[in-house]
A and B are shown apart, each in its own frame.
Chain A
Amino acid sequence: MIQSRPRTPLGYLPILLPAFALIAFYIVPFGSMVGMSFFHNLGGGAYEQVFTLENYARLVSPFFLSVLGTSFEVAFLVALFAIVIGFPFTYLLVNARRGTQVFWLIVMLSVLSLSEAIIGFAWSTLLSRTAGIGVLFEALGLTEKAQSYAPSLGAVLAGVTYIAMPYAVLLLYPILSRIEPDIEQASRTLGASPLRAFFNVIVPMHRTPIVVSFVMIFVFTLGSYLLPQILGRPTNWTLSVVISDQALLQSNMPFAAALSIFLMTVTILLVLLVTLINRKGAKA
């Protein structure tokens, strides 16, 4: 009953409308952004439709390079933290009872879906002088007087790691849930403690997914735009923040478009890298 293709051209009708929608409202907008990145900025939201590479030339300015440095630094550290926390957490999760799994999956999905505005607000409160861990530390006698921990690079890292961790969990969950229970049991019968089995068998076994997830989280983190604004100082701003800043506040559409194209290129290269790693991993 499953056919290779519809019997008549009319059978293609159902998919033509969605195809049209995706082309008209995704491919075309994309093309218009590419076009925009070559226009000349006149300031105040106006631009001139002439071909110029000046927007791309600005990418090598010291300001932009420092933004890039910050973005990559944040993305790298966050991806690292998210994997280091997320991998063992997910491993424990897939071995938990079904009810426990469902509960934490709902929590992770929720954290991942919540607006960065809300997460940012929550973390700025948590790191504030009057309502957060400052109060806790003072009560415990760890610090003499409650202090605020935001804005700072540390706060940005904490906040972004907080949203990247559920992403890591949801990336690793399908992979780790496919581990045959035999594998851990086999290493146990061979004399390894569960902790050793985890570090000597489970982790090395998943080298490829770990690296792939690391890159995916890196990409995901590059997309964070509100948390660095809420929890950090302007020196902690990442590429995404700068793009929206250029587009909305500086009204420099051509430059914002060029920055987006750059970010997209980096993303696509990283996704290609992931595909390559995956293919290699599958061969090994």
Chain B
Amino acid sequence: MKLGKILSTLFFWIVGIVTIAPFVVIAGVSVNERKSLTFPPEGFNLGWYGDLFLDPEWREPLLTSLTIAICASLLAVLIAFPVAWFNWRYRTGFGKLVAGLGAMPFLLPPVITAMGFLTFFIILGYYGEFWTVVVAHAIFLVTLPLVSLSLGFEDIDTSLVEASRSMGASEATVLRTVVMPMIRPYVISGFCFVFVISLNEYIIAVMTVGAVFETLPMKIFNALRYGYTPVMAAASVVFVASTVLIFSLVAAFSDLPKLLGARSK
């Protein structure tokens, strides 16, 4: 019985360490004094982080990625909210169909969705326009706010709505005074999920605007192919840190285990 406990603890931590190890190495590499790929780092230099924000070659992709992610997550939430609300409020076949449609893009390998957008925007002649990647990301990732909002709506006791109605609130007042305050954490987590994944997304961005704009993941991949610079490592560290930070915020403001499907205990 003791042995089993030791083995399982050991297993758990080995998996955990291997999961985190790549980022420790990247973080180490990012502070190398000279432009070399060595770990443990030789010397200490935070200048590569400065380059990420100051060197236009890196700052531009960073800003492009951020802009896309913000716009796409706003749009995705705007599309998902009415669908989730409608399906909570009414039981219609049409509503279920739209929700099912919203779940599709996320189920298929992203390269397929990317190809769809590529052909579509080439045929329409919009290939390379900035808004196409925003729309593409929003549609591709709309599943995430749809799921989180549906969970959130399910969680609102319908008697709260009835109570509000019985006290004289119109449909719009119910939405404003009862539903919105209660659904807000789920709106935020839906937004965060789209934001993070859009920020990191590669293939759809390449296939919609790859020839015109460069996002940070594209920049890292291109830099990786044409040589090495510690700025890559710095950029990766910043991305990893912000990804972890955003998910931590989601966890702090909502019930992450429940959001990921755990039975509430």
Q: Could you tell me the distance between the alpha carbons of A135 and B116 in the complex, rounded to whole angstroms?
A: 44
Inter-chain contact B247/A110, CB cutoff 8 Å: yes
The residue on A at minimum CB distance from B235 is A118
* CB–CB B108/A173 < 8 A: no
Kindly specify which of A54-62, A86-94, A207-215 makes contact with the partner chain.
A86-94
The reply to whether A264 and B108 form a contact with Cβ atoms under 8 Å apart is yes
For residue A195, which residues in chain B have a CB less than 8 angstroms away from its CB? 3-4, 7-8
Q: Is the CB of A4 within 8 A of B83?
A: no
Closest chain A residue to B135 by CB distance?
A: A25
Give the secondary structure class of B's interface.
Answer: helix
Which residue from A104, A123, A220 sits with its C-beta under 8 Å from B22? Answer: A123
Main secondary structure of the interface of A (DSSP, over half): helix
Contact A106 B256 (CB under 8 A): yes
Contact A22 B102 (CB under 8 A): yes
- Chain B: residues with Cβ within 8 Å of the partner, total of 98
CB–CB A131/B207 < 8 A: no
- Which residues of A are found within 8 Å of B139, using beta-carbon distances? 21-22, 25-26
Annotate B122-152 by CB proximity to A: 1 below 8 A, 0 otherwise.
Answer: 1100000000000110010010000000000
* Assembled-state Cα–Cα distance A244/B5 (Å): 46
**Is the CB–CB distance between A105 and B82 below 8 Å?**
no
A257 to B257, CA, bound (A): 39
Residues of A within 8 A of B104 (CB): 26
**Partner of B91 from A5, A244, A253 at Cβ < 8 Å:** A5
Kindly state whether residue A70 has any CB partner on chain B within 8 Å.
no
Interface residue ranges of A60-80 to B (CB < 8 Å): none
B260 touches A170 (CB 8 A): yes
Contact B165 A1 (CB under 8 A): yes
Determine which of B5, B8, B80 lies in contact with A88 in the assembled complex, contact meaning CB atoms within 8 Å.
Answer: B8
B118: chain A residues at CB < 8 Å are 247, 253
Instruction: Indicate with 1 or 0, residue by residue over A22-33, a CB within 8 angstroms of chain B CB atoms.
Output: 110111111011
A–B Cβ pairs within 8 angstroms, 27 of them: A2-B90, A3-B89, A6-B92, A17-B82, A18-B80, A19-B98, A29-B121, A36-B123, A98-B257, A101-B257, A102-B257, A106-B248, A116-B202, A116-B217, A117-B224, A122-B23, A162-B22, A177-B263, A193-B1, A226-B203, A240-B203, A244-B203, A247-B118, A248-B210, A260-B112, A263-B111, A263-B112
